[in-house]
Amino acid sequence: MNTKPPIYVTQPDLPPLEEFMPYLQQIWDSKILTNGGPFHKQLETELAEYLGVNYISLFTNATIALVTALQSLRISGEVITTPYSFVATAHSLLWNGIKPVFADIDPNTMNLDPASIEAAITPQTTAIMPVHCYGRPCDVEAIQRIADDYNLKVIYDAAHAFGVKQHGQSILQHGDLSILSFHATKAFNTFEGGAIISPDARTKQHIDHLKNFGFVNETTVVATGINGKMSELNAALGLLQLKHVGKAIARRREIDALYRQLLTGVKGIRVLEPAADTQANYSYFPILVEPDYPLSRDVIYQQMKDAGIYGRRYFYPLISDFPMYRGLPSAHASNLPVAKATSSKVICLPIYPALSDEEVASVAALIRHPQLPQIAPAPAPSLDAHHAGTPV
């Protein structure tokens, strides 16, 4: 019987509680809890500087941010997106009355394959919604070329990509809009939260109106908005988290390196190569269980659970397999062979700052030395069986 504390795929990274108390005192003193208070404004300023972007709008969560981003660009018709993501990506389309069109992914990056995107374009296509899966940058240049050729908008679901840079520049600067998640499971969290990165002040202003019911001032409503505002409590936590996020990401980098070292040479286990010229945030550590591994993905996944190690099969099932999507022509497995195969192989291993080297080693050891099925020897034939039917 396993008596060790369970190891989950992630664990929220929280600052010392005593450091948060002065922020709470200021909120209690001011009585400002929401509606763009001082902590909200300060967090927007500090996040824009940290992330290397000019315009950011904070939201209560990333799903509302996705819904609002689509509204802000007046997207309709069909949007090409990935089946290999969390369901919020496609759900945001359905909530806007938009038809998702699924395209296949690249087997090395797990991101949308540009060739599959182009093949999926129809006269009804208005936009592309790629995901920087596991924080690994999409082929942003190829996607932008396609968007320019066909006059399409590009909205990046960058939920995994906090702080990620490629070629020294923020990955969030690509496309028409990028959406971040600050959920408790992410590299940077505000308990719950999200944001939209805008290219200019006018777009940000429009998004800020939309997230506050469409209000411009006390008596003027200019759009059919929603309540997507981040509270002062969440913004205050975000300000404190920014002071610690560098150390947290550095620890994630150490864990990533240790996994790579310990899993090198394990037959049948594929570890994704680091993305080229990329400053990563190490939010996820996916492995692929290939056919030459002695166990299937689901068997080793269950052995991990039995040992108190709770990885996750991000992303299984595919979004396209869920009931509200499986009837779409683009959801058919024959249209998504790489995504389907990847979904059947992937396990994301535990990774978070508080994970110890010893715990990382125990996860890797289980994968290096799985419990192989016992093959029972063939039973010896019994005397009665040997002589069955022999006349007496």
Q: What is the pLDDT of residues 29-68, one digit of tens each?
A: 999 999 999 999 999 999 999 999 999 999 999 999 999 9
What are the structural domain ranges in the chain? 17-241, 245-368
Residue 290 sits at the vertex; the CA angle it makes with 289 and 293, to the nearest 5 degrees, is: 85
Residues 6+ apart with CB under 8 A from 230: 34, 40, 43, 58, 59, 60, 190, 193
Q: Which two tokens stand for residue 127?
A: 């936009």
Q: Measure the CA–CA gap between 133 and 108, rounded to whole angstroms.
A: 11
Average pLDDT (194-208) is 98
- The DSSP code for 312 is B
Domain 245-368 class, CATH top level: alpha beta
Rounded distance between C-alpha atoms, residue 304 and residue 297, angstroms: 11
Q: Is 318 helix (H, G, I), strand (E, B) or coil?
A: coil
Confidence of residue 373 (pLDDT cuts 50, 70, 90): confident
Do strands 220-221 and 215-217 pair parallel, antiparallel, or not at all (unpaired)?
Answer: antiparallel
Mean pLDDT of the 385-391 span: 36
Q: Which stretch of DSSP H or E encloses residue 252?
A: helix 232-263
CA distance to 157, 261, 292, 348, per residue, from 249 (Å): 21, 18, 33, 17
Angle between helices 88-95 and 62-72 (to 10 degrees): 40
Indicate the SS3 state at residue 153: strand
- Looking at residue 241, its pLDDT comes to 98
CB 66 within 8 A of CB 50: no
HEC profile of 95-121: HCCCEEEECCECCCCCCECHHHHHHHC
17-241 has which CATH code? Answer: 3.40.640.10
Predicted pLDDT of residue 2: 63
Asked if 304 and 312 count as a contact pair (C-beta separation under 8 A), the reply is: no
Residues 206-210, mean pLDDT to the nearest whole number = 98
Q: What is the mean pLDDT of the chain?
A: 95
CA distance 61 to 71: 16
DSSP 321: G
Query: What's the pLDDT tens digit per position in 76-121?
Result: 999 999 999 999 999 999 999 999 999 999 999 999 999 999 999 9
In contact, 279 and 44? CB cutoff 8 Å:
no
Query: What are the pLDDT digits (tens) for 168-191?
Result: 999 999 999 999 999 999 999 999
